[in-house]
Homo-oligomer: A and B are copies of this chain.
Amino acid sequence: MKLLRLLSLLSLGAALLNAAPVTVEKWGIFELELKGPSEGNPFTEVRFGAVFTNGATTVEVPGFYDGDGSYKVRFMPSATGEWKYETKANRWPLTGKLGSFVVTPPAKGNHGPVRVAHTFHFAYADGTPFKQIGTTIYNWTDTPEAVQEETLKTLASAPFNKIRMLLTPQPTPYQNSFAPPRWPFVGTPPTSWDFTRFNPEYFRHLEKRIGQLRDLGIEADVILFNPYGKFGFESMDAASDERYVRYVIARLGAYRNIWWSLANEYDFQRVKTEPEWTRIGELVQAVDPYNHLRSIHNGSLLYDNNQPWVTHASIQNGAAVEEPGRAEMYRGVWRRPVVYDEVKYEGSSPYRWGDLSGEEMVHRFWCGTVAGTYVGHGDYFLVNEDTWTSFGGTLRGQSAPRLAFLRKILEDGPAQGIDPIDKWQDPNTGGVHGTYYLTYFGRAQPTEWTFKLYKNGVEDGQRYVVDVIDTWAMTVTPVEGEFVTKKLNNYHFGDAAGRKVKLPGKPGMAVRVRRIGADGQPVKLELQREGT
């Protein structure tokens, strides 16, 4: 055991030698480091990993070479109590090592990895709903350290709980003054690489940043391949693709806030065919011990998101969230969560993919929301050759506070998520039958709304309260008194007294309708929480 070091990242790197018991929180990271051979090419020649078990569950976890004769395996435990492990390798110093550790309950704010829930939605592993409000910061980890710190500071007070980021560098205005500080492979920048040798320093830096996102409560939707820059990472051979995917998963998979995005604009990467993407998607599914969320982002050609490896659709299509009736359509096709990850960016770009007004960005979020889908943000105002969505720093647009407002409404809303109430008939209304309704009027400018609910889940005599929501001014104005349901016709219930709700005749308005119980309070939908 003299070569064995147990290192708990969560106790901030303190190295323990045969100290007992080692502890790690549930959904935290247990890391085991062993010393082994450094001659030859350890990345290709040495197989290393470990089997973890608590008796009930056994998980085989791939390890990785971290340079300088150091081999590591990281494990994210999904249950409290004692776990044991045994290493497996094709080198004697690395194989057959035994050990154990104790998994403690998760700390406050640790809800585990995000999973698909209720078919079209997301929840953390402990059942806490995850209401995705995403943004895009492609290459924030390639910027000067001060900019990265500024990005983290911005994120700390921003509404975003998921960011999309590229795993490899892309050429940038920054590179007019300096190149990316690190590269994922050993070689000579910008195009001459040894794809059989990874650069551990690159990944250690990335891991630090992903850990910081986790600590801010932000999911990292890490994009494995992208078509930009032509550094050669997009056109590796199949064996190098596989080696790269396996290495990335071995290093990052134990971070609970990881999502895997196979590609940005996959169809713009002319060097891979669709069957190759499918193969890579299936590889990620097979290799990741934790079944993190998996998607692939399109350019103009939609991927077949019914493929079994895809957990949710990650869509670029701004037109799809211009009105809720469109947003619902992909949802119905794929029967899994739809995240409109790129709907054009709020910005001042001369290109039409980056010229949305703040109002339009907020509008698109609301269209996606009432259709039972999720939307992603981008901020593309050129400042010092830079934009938030390319490199982070600070936000320049006006939508972010309104997205915080929306997030609050979602988090106060039904735990199970918002679904279309009367699909293909009333696309502007989402919610939960008989309990909660959110109607978004979009660009229309109504001056009143007649209380009316679709029949499912509704009976005569139910009591509801109504709020008027201004999505831009960020106000929620309760309408005085109650509304009591009475059947109108084959399809709808109205208010027994025929009550209407006054509206201010401007765009971006919504009404929220909530059923109230005997206590006069809005009915809550109970969370399904996993036991710890």
Contacts and interface: CB of A to CB of B under 8 A. Distances in A.
- Most interface-central of A304, A332, A350, A351 (chain B CB within 10 A): A332
Given A304-B306, A424-B318, A491 B352 contact: yes
A425 interface: yes
Contact of A326 (B300, B302, B326): B326
A153 to B, nearest CB: 35
A322 interface: yes
A427 B322 CA distance: 12
A309 to B, nearest CB: 14
Contact of A427 (B319, B329, B423, B425): B319
B424 A319 contact: yes
Say whether chain A's binding surface is mostly helix, strand, loop, or mixed. Answer: loop
A301 B301 CA distance: 23
Interface string A290-318: 00000000001110101000000000011
Given A322-B325, A352-B491, A423 B300 contact: yes
Interface in A399-458: 423-425, 427
Q: State the number of copies, please.
A: 2
A490 B351 contact: yes
Nearest to A316: B424
A249 interface: no
A332 B302 contact: yes
Contacts of A330: 329, 333
A330 B330 CA distance: 8
A304 B323 CA distance: 24
A362 interface: no
A490 B350 contact: yes
A304 B310 CA distance: 14
A332 B491 CA distance: 32
- Most interface-central of A322, A333, A351 (chain B CB within 10 A): A333
For the complex of A and B, 9 pairs with smallest distance between CB atoms? A319-B424, A329-B329, A302-B332, A333-B333, A304-B306, A326-B326, A302-B333, A319-B325, A317-B424
Given A306-B306, A320-B424, 20 more contacts: A300-B424, A301-B332, A302-B332, A302-B333, A304-B306, A317-B424, A319-B325, A319-B424, A319-B425, A319-B427, A320-B329, A323-B325, A325-B326, A326-B326, A326-B329, A329-B329, A330-B333, A350-B490, A351-B490, A352-B491
